[in-house]
């Protein structure tokens, strides 16, 4: 039997209904409907398609105004021939009651956008005498109606694997030929003989078929379910990038990310002759490194995927949580294009897990602890310490003076050491419960060195 979401506490519901009654009294009129005017476009734009009224599936009755920060600060709707609604302080009270409702019940299961829309709908229909139920009862019912179980697949950009695998509560699956074939046939039946729509279907199929998707099961309202699924997919994909060759070479970039979030640089140049376009050149900056078949990385790093899955599946200890956060941060260096940016992300991630606090001397302690974790000889430990100092000096030159690093080989050596440090921490993370205990062990190692 499906479990119903919990409703509001009686006292909270009573308070919400009282506030809603006060808000109803503050509705404002913004003038009558003006005859439509055809504005003169400031620039000459070429429309790629014409949207007819029958092409619009649905539209909100509300006009939402946003400020320069992208935050909604007013809502209006057409009642008869008059624009009415709330703005300024009056609208702020609507946002406040929405936030309070989100905190009171259905935590993590409904989006703020959904709740705000429903509160505004209740207010407008109550004013127009279309309903007489309390706000709390209406919102609780709508949330219960919309909270459902969803299986959501989020495609990754040009990332491939020959077998399925999991990282925590996200499972990675290939968007197979059979899946896309069924979707294509169903879409073909709907569009009929429409060449443009069929071309769009083919383009979508070409983009998705064979790629890897980050998949999850989420119980929530639809917009919140999508938001949650994307958050889960982003973190799992960040850990997946730990397997990328871009972790070891500052000249490489890993484009493994949620489809649509990739930052694959492209360019367009118009070659002009006598005032006319003689030719148009389009290019992608780094297409040679855009595709990633994970299989080779899995062969070269046996056990690493299992360790990543274990870390993502269990963050029950303080050290596990700290390592998880540090590795999410470290993953950003594999996506960075500029070597100096890679250096900064890698150093910050290492500092977050290897330093006790902000008062410690960074260069000395960071290098020593990396050496103790990964060095296999005294000479190798000395080289790691020296390389970390060089890396930190390069980081300081970039952060404080804007000087980009040119020591590519030294940077690559540091990136390898950083990766090995995190790999070593994946191996020992269960030996200690807290960062303090882990640092205590490192200090014991330091004192044991003759």
Residue 182 lies in a domain: no
Q: Read off the pTM.
A: 0.85
Positive or negative: CA dihedral 367, 368, 373, 374: positive
CA–CA distance, 308 with 433 (Å, rounded to integer) = 18
* Any domain includes 50: no
Q: From CA 91, how far away is CA 107, in angstroms rounded?
A: 23
* Domain identity same for 388 and 260: no
- Of 57-61, 143-147, 300-304, 397-401, where does mean pLDDT reach its minimum? 57-61
Whether the per-residue pLDDT at 340 is higher than 80: the answer is: yes
138 and 66 together in one domain = yes
Residue 122 lies in a domain: yes
Residue range 126-155, pLDDT digits in tens:
999 999 999 999 999 999 999 999 999 999
282 with 339, same domain: the answer is no
Residues 6+ positions from 198 with CB-CB distance below 8 Å: 188, 191
Assigned token pair, 307: 């360790």
Cα gap 115→90, rounded to integer Å? 17
Alpha-carbon distance 436 to 356, whole Å? 7
pLDDT for residue 56 is more than 60: no
Query: Looking at per-residue confidence, does 357 or 174 come out higher?
Result: 174
Which range, of 16-30, 111-125, 189-203, averages the lowest pLDDT?
A: 189-203
Closest CA to 64 of 55, 53, 52, 72: 72
Select from 127, 146, 165 the last residue of a domain.
146
| Claim to verify: residue 138 and residue 161 sit in the same structural domain | no
Among 157-161, 232-236, 401-405, which stretch is predicted with the lowest mean pLDDT?
401-405
Q: How many domains does the chain have?
A: 3
pLDDT by residue (tens digit) across 83-113? 899 998 999 999 999 999 999 888 889 999 9
Q: Of 289, 323, 345, which closes a domain?
A: 289
Do both 226 and 282 map to the same domain? yes
Task: State the pLDDT at residue 2.
Answer: 42
pLDDT in tens, 276-303: 888 888 776 655 567 899 999 999 998 9
Same domain, 17 and 69: yes
DSSP string for 232-272? HHHHHHHHHGGGSGGGT-TT-----SBTT-----EEEEEEE
Last residue of a domain, one of 225, 256, 289: 289
**Is residue 385 included in any domain, yes or no?**
yes
Q: What are phi and psi of 281, to 5 degrees?
A: -110, 130
Residues 120 and 161 in one domain: no
166 found inside a domain? yes
Cα separation, 132 vs 169, in Å, equals 43
In 164-235, at which residue ranges do the beta strands (DSSP E only) sit? 165-167, 170-174, 212-220
Angle at alpha carbon of residue 255, lines to 252 and 259, rounded to 5°: 175
Q: Do the beta carbons of residue 91 and residue 74 sit within 8 Å? A: yes
Side-chain half-sphere CA neighbours of 219 within 13 A: 8
Q: Is 196 contained in some domain? A: no
Cα 126 off chain centre by: 37
> Both 282 and 380 in a single domain?
no
Average pLDDT, the chain: 87
Q: Are residues 336 and 417 in the same domain?
A: yes
The answer to whether residue 306 sits within a structural domain is: no
User: Of the given ranges (171-180, 319-328, 354-363, 399-408), which has the lowest mean pLDDT?
Assistant: 399-408
List the domain range (segments joined by +) for residue 120. 10-33+60-146
Say if residue 258 is in the same domain as residue 220.
Answer: yes
Are 137 and 158 part of one and the same domain? no
Q: Round to whole Å and give the CA distance between 401 and 157.
A: 35
Sorted by sequence, the CB contacts under 8 Å of residue 31 that are 6+ apart come out as 82, 83
Pick from 3-7, 45-49, 70-74, 271-275: least confident:
3-7
The whole-number pLDDT of residue 374 equals 92
Sign of CA dihedral 64, 65, 66, 71: negative
- State phi, psi for 171 to the nearest 5 degrees: -110, 135
Question: Alpha-carbon distance 354 to 438, whole Å?
Answer: 9
In a domain, 190, yes or no: no
| Helix (H/G/I), strand (E/B), else coil: 384 | helix
Residue 370 near residue 306 (C-beta atoms within 8 A): no
User: In terms of domains, do 120 and 165 share one?
Assistant: no
């Amino acid at each position: 039997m499906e479990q119903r979401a919990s409703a509001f506490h009686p006292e909270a519901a009573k308070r919400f209904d009282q506030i809603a009654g006060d808000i109803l009294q503050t509705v404002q009129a913004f003038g009558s409907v003006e005859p439509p005017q055809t504005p003169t476009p400031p620039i000459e734009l070429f429309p790629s398609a014409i949207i007819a009224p029958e092409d619009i599936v649905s539209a909100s009755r509300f006009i939402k105004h946003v400020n320069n920060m992208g935050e909604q600060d007013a809502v209006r709707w057409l009642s008869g021939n008059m624009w009415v609604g709330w703005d300024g302080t009056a609208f702020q009270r609507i946002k406040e009651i929405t936030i309070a409702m989100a905190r009171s019940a259905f935590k993590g299961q409904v989006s703020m956008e959904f709740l705000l829309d429903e509160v505004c709908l209740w207010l407008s229909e109550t004013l127009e005498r279309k309903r007489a139920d309390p706000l709390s009862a209406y919102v609780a019912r709508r949330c219960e109606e919309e909270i459902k179980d969803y299986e959501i697949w989020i495609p990754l950009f040009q990332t491939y694997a020959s077998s399925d695998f999991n990282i925590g509560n996200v499972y990675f699956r290939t968007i197979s030929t059979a899946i896309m074939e069924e979707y294509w046939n169903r879409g073909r039946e709907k569009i009929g003989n429409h060449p443009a729509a069929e071309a769009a279907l083919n383009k979508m199929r070409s983009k998705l078929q064979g790629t890897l998707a980050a998949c999850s099961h989420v119980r929530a309202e639809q917009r919140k379910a999508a938001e949650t699924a994307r958050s889960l997919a982003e973190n799992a994909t960040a850990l997946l990038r730990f397997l990328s060759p871009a972790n070891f070479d500052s000249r490489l970039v890993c484009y493994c990310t949620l489809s649509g979030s990739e930052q694959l640089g492209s360019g367009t140049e118009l070659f002009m002759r006598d005032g006319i376009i003689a030719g148009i050149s389009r290019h992608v900056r780094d297409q040679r490194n855009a595709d990633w078949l994970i299989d080779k990385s899995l062969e070269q790093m046996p056990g690493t995927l299992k360790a990543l899955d274990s870390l993502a599946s269990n963050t029950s200890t303080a050290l596990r949580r700290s390592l998880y956060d540090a590795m999410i941060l470290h993953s950003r260096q594999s996506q960075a294009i500029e070597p100096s940016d890679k250096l900064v992300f890698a150093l910050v991630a290492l500092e977050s897990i290897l330093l006790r606090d902000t008062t410690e001397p960074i260069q000395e302690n960071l290098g020593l602890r990396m050496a103790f974790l990964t060095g296999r000889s005294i000479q190798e430990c000395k080289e790691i310490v020296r390389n970390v100092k060089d890396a930190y000096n390069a980081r300081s030159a970039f952060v404080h003076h804007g000087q980009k690093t040119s020591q590519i080989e030294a940077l690559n050596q540091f990136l390898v050491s950083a990766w090995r440090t995190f790999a070593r921490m994946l191996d020992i993370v269960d030996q200690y419960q807290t960062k303090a205990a882990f640092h205590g062990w490192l200090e014991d190692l330091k004192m044991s060195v003759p």
